[in-house]
Structure 1
Amino acid sequence: MSIKPKQLEMIKTVFVILFFILVSLVFIIPFYWMLVSSFKPTGEIFTDSLSLWPQNPIISSYTNLLDTHFLRWYLNTMIFAVGYVILGLFVCSLAGFAFAKYKFKFRNLIFIVIVAAQMLPIHMQLIPLFIMLTKSGIVNTYAGLIFPMIANPLGLFFVRQYMLGIPDDLMNAARVDGASEWQIYYKIILPISKPALGAMAILFSLFAWNNLLWPLIVMRTEEMFTLSVGLSTLIGQYRPQYGMLMAGSTLAVLPIVLLFLKMQSYFISGLTAGSIKG
């Protein structure tokens, strides 16, 4: 008995749907376990039996967070993320605009060198960066946390590739109308580049929100820690507080999830368009 083309297509669709459901579960189950564990006593988190809901729900893990610097860690992380996104997008969009739309000597060579810097592991840059911050006197400050990170080679590459697809005729028409180069960048290039900038905003936010190594190096006092560094201090050698860690991690995930849901259209269209420009 032969299978009709429509039936074959339906079978393929069912298998594709089942595959993506399984992939979704792989990502969702850890988050669900983290959420449920935040309402469990510490002794119940690592029991042999897997429960879909806590047998003795508690909220003390959340209330106990108030006895730490959790709210300050949250504020520090928001300042880091917002400052890094705004300044990073400004620098990357301005540099991407220059590399995409202006011709100058050694343009391609300079661009290749900058992008090649992305291949250097951050560990090679930690000591030089820390020495520079120490000599500048901005260790344990927001400026020291944000400024060394804003020149992102990946962001520059992505924005440049997107801007290469913007017709030069738009810029020439604006120049004929008397627009300055800054007005062309601010009033024409940036609005057209919203999808790419939206995608970069999400990626930059994820980097800043989840970054552990760099804040650990720069911030020296507990009240200046970010969420990732602060939450790591809850796992002590003798008394690990897993319930508070799960509660803090649950609250830490919420802003990123909400940001992605808000800007997912920009993220998808930006990545798609950026991948075919150039």
Structure 2
Amino acid sequence: MDTTVKTKWTLNQVLLLALFTVFAVFSLFPIVTLTIASFKPAQELMRFGLNLKIDPDLFSLKNYTYLFSGESLYLTWYKNSIVITAIYTALCLFISSMIGYGLAVYKFPLRNLTFTLVLITMMVPLEIIMLPLYKLSISLQLIDSIWGVILPFIAAPLPIFFFRQYAGGLPKDFLDAARVDGCTEFGIFVRIMMPLMAPAFSSMAILQALFCWNNFLWPLIVLRTNEQLTIPIGLSTLLTPYGNNFDMLISGAVLAIVPILIVFLFFQKYFIEGMTAGGVKG
């Protein structure tokens, strides 16, 4: 009987491995295709499109050389995206975690109403608030600056909800002990709660960095000059009625994957733990 159970479990493992392998292949297929195409000339892409055909005679580093040359603003766009993503992610995680922690730990009037408003905000698409948000950005003189992209979204409803759920499941004994020792409320949050919420920070760091890095609509509205553009908008400028630089577009898209991949590899250790624990209220 034990042998049968062991064989059945091994078979389940093999089936799961095969299933996830298929999913992995389908997920990696677009990336591999783009990577191969990034070394091909534009004429080849126009004739045969994206494919997995590898021809060493056609491969060259011309596309990447152009991106790093002085003729292209790609490095400027890349730097802008990295700066905006880094600042936005840090501010968003810190502010949203404080709000979520406050909603979970402290009891104050209208707390439930405040949390309800956060949930309602999650359901409102950007297109509805885009016009008043744009007028507010003009009034605050945030147009064509990185702060115009960052500031309107640093208190994001999804991270607030996630941190509130996660903090609600943490033991409160640490808070009482810290208060007895004379620690301030801000010190309790920074020194005790933030380390305990490390898995939640890791999960939200990946999601919010991905959101900011790929954000297209709002930066397109706020940013004006070519030197202030981010990667998604800058790459879109390569497609014009007078010529489509697909070779530059594809090579630029391949390089744009690298920062998010690094962020995921850096935080993925706690990603699953944070997502699982944050979905259950303690």
1:30 aligns with 2:34: no
1:242 aligns with 2:246: yes
| Pairing of 1:166-185 with structure 2 (within 5 A) | 166-185=170-189
- 1:141 CA displacement: 0.6
| Pairing of 1:48-197 with structure 2 (within 5 A) | 50-55=51-56, 56-65=58-67, 66=69, 67-197=71-201
Partner of 1:43: 43
Amino acid at match of 1:62: Y
C-alpha contact 1:39 1:54 (8 A) present in aligned 2: no
The one-character-per-residue Cα deviations of 1:77-104 (angstroms, maximum 9, x if unpaired) are 0111011111101110110111011000
- 1:40 CA displacement: 0.4
- 1:275 CA displacement: 1.9
Which structure 1 residue ranges, 5 or more long, are not aligned? none
C-alpha contact 2:168 2:281 (8 A) present in aligned 1: yes
Partner Cα distance (1:266, 1:8) in 2: 31
Partner Cα distance (1:162, 1:132) in 2: 33
Partner Cα distance (1:62, 1:68) in 2: 11
Residues 48 and 268 of structure 1: CA distance in aligned 2, closer, same or farther (over 3 Å):
closer
Structure 1 SS opposite 2:252 = helix
Partner of 1:206: 210
- 1:41 CA displacement: 0.9
Identity %: 38
Among candidates 227, 230, 255, match of residue 226 of structure 1? 230
Partner Cα distance (1:41, 1:226) in 2: 25
Partner Cα distance (2:36, 2:167) in 1: 45
C-alpha contact 1:36 1:54 (8 A) present in aligned 2: no
Q: CA RMSD in A?
A: 1.6
Size of the alignment, in residue pairs?
Answer: 276
Structure 2 SS opposite 1:276 = coil
Residues 163 and 145 of structure 1: CA distance in aligned 2, closer, same or farther (over 3 Å):
same
Partner Cα distance (1:126, 1:96) in 2: 25
Partner of 1:276: 280
Amino acid at match of 1:180: T
The TM-score with structure 1 as length reference comes to: 0.95
C-alpha contact 2:38 2:63 (8 A) present in aligned 1: yes
Partner Cα distance (2:252, 2:166) in 1: 37
The TM-score with structure 2 as length reference comes to: 0.94
- 1:176 CA displacement: 0.7
Among candidates 254, 258, 263, match of residue 259 of structure 1? 263
Residues 27 and 49 of structure 1: CA distance in aligned 2, closer, same or farther (over 3 Å):
closer
Which structure 2 residue ranges, 5 or more long, are not aligned? none
Amino acid at match of 2:86: V
Amino acid at match of 1:183: G
Partner Cα distance (1:219, 1:57) in 2: 35
Displacement over 4 Å in runs of 4+: none
Partner Cα distance (1:68, 1:168) in 2: 54
- 1:30 CA displacement: 0.3
Partner Cα distance (2:39, 2:65) in 1: 11
- 1:136 CA displacement: 1.4
Amino acid at match of 1:26: F
